[in-house]
Amino acid sequence: MVGSIWGLGFAPVDYQQGNSYRIIYIHVPAAFLAQAMYVVMAICALVLFVWRLKLADVAMQATAVMGLAFTVLSLVSGAVWGKPTWGTYWVWDARLTSMLILGFLYLGLIGLRAAIQDPDQAGKACGILVLVGVVNLPIIKYSVEWWNTLHQPASIKLTEKPTMPASMWVPLLVNILGYYTASAYLVLGSMRAIVIGRERRASWVKELVGRA
C-alpha cells in the first residue's frame, strides 16, 4: 500500500516517458509474483510427492489461481503501458509471449483440477503436470527469448546498481515486498477456505461453524 501510493503519487516524472511510467509500480511486482507463484507451486508439488503432505496440494491449488491472476494483471498493465510508449497494445515479443504461455499453463492446471472429481487424485495429476512444466519452463523461456526480443532488459538486478534514481526504485522495491507479503496473506487465506471446504464433513469444521 505504502509503496503503491508513494510510487503512483510522489515519485518524480520520467524525462522520457512522462507519467505513464508509473504503471511499473503495478506491472513489475505483478510479473515478479506471477513467476514466483510457479516456483512455489513446483516446490509444493515436490513436497506432495516426497512427503505426501495434503496441505501442499491445497497450497498448489491456491497458488495456481493467484499465479493466473498476477499473470493477467501484468499482461493487462503492460498492454496499457505499451500503448503510449511502444505505440501498440501487444507485440509478439519474447517476454510477453512467455508470460502468455505461463498464463496458459496456469489455466491448464486449473482446468485439469476442475475436471477430476476426486481432490486427492486431481492434486496428484496437477503435481505431475507442474513438475513436467517446471522442467520445460526454462526451455520455453530461452527459446522464446532467442526467437524474438524487444522488451527492455530488467531495470533492477540484485547484483548491479539500478539504472534509475533512488526516488524511483525505492518505492518500487517497497511495492515488490508489499506484493509478496500481500499475496502470501491471500494464498494463506484461500488455503484456509479450501481446507474448510474439503473437510466440510469433519467434526471440527462443524464445531467451528456452530460457534460462529
Partner 1 sequence: MLEREFKLAAARPGDIFKPMWFLMLVISIVPLALSPDSALLADIGSAMIWVATLLAILLNTEHLFQSDFADGVLEQWLFLDRPLAWLVGLKLIVHWLFHVVPLICIIPIAGLMLSVPSDVLIALLMTLVIATPALTCFSGLGAALTLGSSRSGILGVLVMMPLFVPVVILAAGVLIRATDGSEILPLMALLGAFSLVAATLVPIAVSAAIRLNIGGSN
* List of residues contacting partner 1 (CB under 8 A): 101, 104-105, 107-109, 111-112, 115-118, 120-121, 124-125, 128-129, 131-133, 135-136, 139-140, 143-144, 146-147
Q: How far is the CB of 99 from partner 1 (least distance, A)?
A: 12
Q: How far is the CB of 42 from partner 1 (least distance, A)?
A: 14
Residue placing its CB nearer to partner 1 in the complex, 148 or 167: 148
Q: How far is the CB of 170 from partner 1 (least distance, A)?
A: 36
How far apart, in Å, do the first and last CA atoms of the chain sit?
31
Residue placing its CB nearer to partner 1 in the complex, 53 or 132: 132
Q: How far is the CB of 106 from partner 1 (least distance, A)?
A: 10
